[in-house]
Structure 1
Amino acid sequence: MVRQEVEQEKTRIVMIDSIYGYQISMRGQDLVNNLHALCKYLKNMGVTVILINDVLLLGRAESGKMALCLLPLELAKFCKELVSEFQNSLKLKPQNDPVTLIFVNQCQSAIACLEASLLRRILSNLLSNAIKYSPPNTEVVFELKLTETEAVFSVQDAGIGIPLADQERLFDSFFRAKNVGIIPGIGLGLSIVKKCVDLHGGEIALSSEEDVGSKFTVTLPLAKLEEEQLSPATP
């Protein structure tokens, strides 16, 4: 059964990789005309809507067709709501010793100009990975800091860690570390994170040790708030 599932996962990876390359080669109306058929085909192959969106986002980013929509955002509130979603999801999982998600807020009601949808992708992917690769009865710590010029987000786990030899390629599309075993995934999450961080002109740093855990730190520059922008956007 495990072998069959692995083979199915490999088939999906090859299929998605091929369609991803085809999708970013399309331009203008060709892309619009084929988008619906592409999504329908992926769904029929058992690929989730989230994964479809990830593939399309990568394609738009690679083709230079993605523009930022920077709007005021209450960072603390945004992060708390996201953490609450993950905590509720963890409660629904049938585990005796589930992973505990902890949010450490080092800023209060600060408003920052960022792209809410891309920030959600960044943080959701990092939190999801941290939880997925952590053993039961461990903690994932999500921390938010703010300076005058930057927003700093960090996600730290006590999971399987990332082998040093794999860290250089970790943000490549469809790459997975050699120690993931049978943990499901196709290697798109961190490449999505990197693209979203790059679009913000930010940086992402990794500190990891195999069998000890990993810490990802994302630093995003804050756009200057104008007087008419002081009302925060809804995430």
Structure 2
Amino acid sequence: MKDKISLFIKSIQDCVIIINNRGIIIDSNPAIQKVLGFTPEELTGNNVSMLMGAPHQAKHDQYLQNHQTTGVNKIIGVGREVIAVHKNGSKVPVRLNISELELEGQLFYVGMLHDLTNQRSIRKHITQVNLGLEEEVQTSNQALKEAMEKMTQNKLNLEQEILERKIVQEQLLEAQETIKEALQKERELSELKTRFISTASHEFRTPLSSILSSVSLIERYTTTETQDKRLKHINRIKSSVQNLTQILEDFLSLSKLEEGKKQDSKHIFDLSALILSTIEEVSTFAKSEQVLEYEHSGEMSVIYSNTQTIKNILINLLSNAIKYSPSNSKIYISSVIDATTVTVSVRDEGMGIPLEQQKYLFSRFFRADNATAIQGTGLGLYIVKKYLENIDGTIDFVSAPEQGTTFTICIPKEDFQ
């Protein structure tokens, strides 16, 4: 029976190789020499992996073992293109089909290889022809494009006279539009000036209220025993005046602030102490039974940053929390300093911000619909964001109508040691 099979495969024009279950070649036909250069006698007794390229050469025996162990057919009965190795070491593209053969109780594998060298050559030739055709098409397209451009130019020349007649009319229309834009800019400038004056009064209101409150209290402290209290309020007035001066400077250099060019000096200071003093300052105009609670987390409270900028930010956030929260409510202030970031949060129990308007919150002069009855200019949070941009900080918030708002600012912690 084996002789008949051997005689049969010798009559096949494609290469035929028969291996046993260990991958050893037991027979092949003469066509193998024409394709791969080996005679059947040179192949018999050798592992079929000698005809394979990487990575299949090193893994072939494992492929056989896995197939015989699991019974899973991954390539049996499936034709695929692979690279075979010629006797001279060159690579030969072939199409490989593998089938199983059981003979006298033994399992064999029959591989049929069809040389694809000519097909690859034809494919390459077709590719080259296609490239040549594409080049010719591109050349034709270029010639067509040039012809179209010439026709277009001729058309433009014919239309030039008509266009020239329209120039005067278009210039008149442009002049009218320019005048209209100038008038619009003038109206906007006038509105901006009006809003600027209103904004200035808004920003000055907090320190002025603190000064007025302290002056009223100083009038009550007329005895020697109350000297300490008078000094406390005198210092508060000084601080508020200093804050007024700083705010005025910020307004006078608003354009620089918006461009991020404003550079303030930095200091080492106690953040907790600054927050507590700011809370005390704004508490003078808190509503009836409003309570401001402060908590600092962590052992460190000293930072290196711009004291006045941080204070202006805190005054804005705390003033807004007081203004937009009802009487008999709490305002929670917290701070934490970790290895890289200084974080301060202000949470109120106020009216909140409508969800559909939250994206406009940091716009200049924006006022939410539910806050129009409360005095304000809509510039406070805009300035807060600009302050934070100047010190590489950020501000985020979470808010819902009638559920309050939480603002959180983060600034990088700088090393001052």
1:153 counterpart residue number: 344
Where does 1:72-151 land on structure 2 (aligned, <5 Å)? Answer: 72-90=268-286, 97-108=288-299, 110-151=301-342
In 2, Cα distance between equivalents of 1:225 and 1:194: 25
Please point out which of 179, 204, 210 is paired with 1:50: 204
Q: 1:20·1:55 contact (CA, 8 Å) conserved in 2?
A: no
In 1, Cα distance between equivalents of 2:263 and 2:310: 14
Aligned-partner residue type, residue 17 of structure 1: L
Aligned length: 188
1:37 counterpart residue number: none
1:164 counterpart residue number: 355
2:192 counterpart residue number: 17
111 and 171 in structure 1: CA distance in 2 versus 1, 3 angstrom threshold: same
- Structure number with the bigger relative contact order (C-alpha 8 A, sep ≥ 6) is 1
Segments of 5+ residues of structure 2 without an aligned counterpart are 1-187, 206-246
49 and 151 in structure 1: CA distance in 2 versus 1, 3 angstrom threshold: closer
Deviations 1:81-140 (A, max 9, x none): 1112222443xxxx6x43211111224452211111110111110000001000111101
1:67 counterpart residue number: 263
Aligned-partner residue type, residue 82 of structure 1: T
In 2, Cα distance between equivalents of 1:179 and 1:48: 19
In 2, Cα distance between equivalents of 1:47 and 1:67: 24
Taking structure 2 as the reference length, what is the TM-score of the superposition?
0.42
Please point out which of 170, 176, 180 is paired with 2:367: 176
Secondary structure (helix, strand or coil) at the match of 2:365 reads coil
Q: 1:76·1:109 contact (CA, 8 Å) conserved in 2?
A: no
In 2, Cα distance between equivalents of 1:20 and 1:68: 26
Secondary structure (helix, strand or coil) at the match of 1:168 reads helix
| Aligned-pair Cα RMSD in Å | 2.7
Q: Is the deviation greater in 185-194 or in 52-61?
A: 52-61
Segments of 5+ residues of structure 1 without an aligned counterpart are 1-12, 22-41, 227-235
In 2, Cα distance between equivalents of 1:108 and 1:19: 47
1:233 counterpart residue number: none
**Per-residue deviation, 1:153:** 0.3
Taking structure 1 as the reference length, what is the TM-score of the superposition?
0.71
Q: 1:142·1:155 contact (CA, 8 Å) conserved in 2?
A: yes
Q: Which has the larger radius of gyration?
A: 2
Secondary structure (helix, strand or coil) at the match of 2:369 reads coil
